[in-house]
């Protein structure tokens, strides 16, 4: 951190603090149970209960495959982003020459630029691990669906235990996917740092506001409160 000024340190602390606090509220706090993510967990439980009663489970397999494909897309995108940041790190001097010629460029040193790029790379590496683990969990879920009890056994204790385990596994996969996607959103906020510490604080705040609104005040969230017309 020696390469950074006090405003840089404060802005970075704001960035990290916003990420941690937002994650804790969404995942651990009682207020987070009113969010869009928490509502979807209830439907995961309902999905597994409905699965037990179905004779043909092709739809369930297709839904699981769609979840896997979406997660695989984000995992591969994370790898591309990591490669892009490493390319920028390798061509630091050339990139700085181009940036210094821009009218809105801010003074920066070689060490500051490299540290900022490394921070961005770390965010994308974190996102990749979350997406990759979510993909593997969805793969486990597909195996569990293939081993689901028969419809004639749907009221047995074993079947109820299966539904609980499968819904928990699906929820854990969704949790890791959400964490990876959240890292992408905060990476957009992190880009503000390349313009300056104030811009980092503002862009981070903007990202949090957008995500908060989508979780608690968006039209998709309001759909769960809607009654039958």
Cα 129–chain centre separation: 11
pTM summary value: 0.89
Rounded Cα distance between 76 and 56, Å, is 32
Rounded Cα distance between 15 and 189, Å, is 8
Asked whether residue 44 carries a pLDDT value surpassing 50, the answer given is yes
Q: Which residue has the higher pLDDT, 195 or 23?
A: 23
For the segment 73-98, the average pLDDT, to the nearest whole number, is 85
Task: Check residue 130 and give its pLDDT.
Answer: 97
Asked whether residue 56 carries a pLDDT value surpassing 70, the answer given is yes
Segment (H or E) for 170: helix 157-190
Rounded Cα distance between 177 and 142, Å, is 16
Asked whether residue 227 carries a pLDDT value surpassing 70, the answer given is no
Give the other-Cβ count within 10 Å of 141's Cβ. 24
pLDDT in tens, 135-161: 999 999 999 999 999 998 988 999 999
Q: Kindly list the domain boundaries of the chain, sorted by start residue.
A: 58-195
Average pLDDT score, the chain: 89
User: pLDDT class for 41, splitting at 50, 70, 90?
Assistant: confident
Task: Check residue 99 and give its pLDDT.
Answer: 65
Nearest to 95 by CA among 119, 107, 113: 113
Rounded Cα distance between 72 and 57, Å, is 23
- Please, are residues 5 and 193 in contact by the beta-carbon 8 Å criterion? no
Asked whether residue 118 carries a pLDDT value surpassing 50, the answer given is yes
């Amino acid at each position: 951190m020696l390469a950074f000024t006090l405003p840089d340190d404060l802005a970075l602390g704001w960035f990290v603090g916003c990420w941690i606090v937002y994650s804790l509220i969404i995942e651990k706090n009682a207020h987070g149970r009113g969010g869009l993510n928490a509502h979807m967990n209830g439907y995961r439980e309902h999905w597994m209960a409905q699965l037990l009663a179905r004779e043909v489970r092709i739809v369930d397999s297709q839904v699981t495959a769609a979840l896997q494909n979406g997660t695989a897309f984000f995992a591969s995108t994370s790898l591309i982003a990591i490669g892009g940041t490493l390319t920028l790190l390798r061509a630091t001097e050339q990139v700085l020459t181009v940036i210094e010629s821009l009218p809105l460029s801010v003074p920066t040193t070689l060490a500051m630029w490299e540290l900022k790029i490394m921070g961005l790379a770390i965010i994308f590496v974190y996102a990749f691990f979350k997406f990759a683990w979510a993909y593997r969990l969805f793969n486990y879920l597909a195996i569990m669906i293939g081993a689901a009890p028969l419809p004639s056994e749907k009221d047995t204790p074993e079947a109820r235990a299966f539904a609980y385990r499968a819904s928990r596994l699906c929820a854990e996969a969704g949790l890791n996917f959400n964490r990876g996607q959240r890292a992408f959103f905060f990476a957009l906020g992190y880009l503000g740092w390349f313009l300056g510490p104030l811009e980092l604080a503002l862009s981070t705040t903007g990202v949090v506001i957008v995500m908060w609104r989508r979780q608690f005040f968006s039209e998709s969230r309001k759909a769960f409160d809607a009654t039958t017309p």
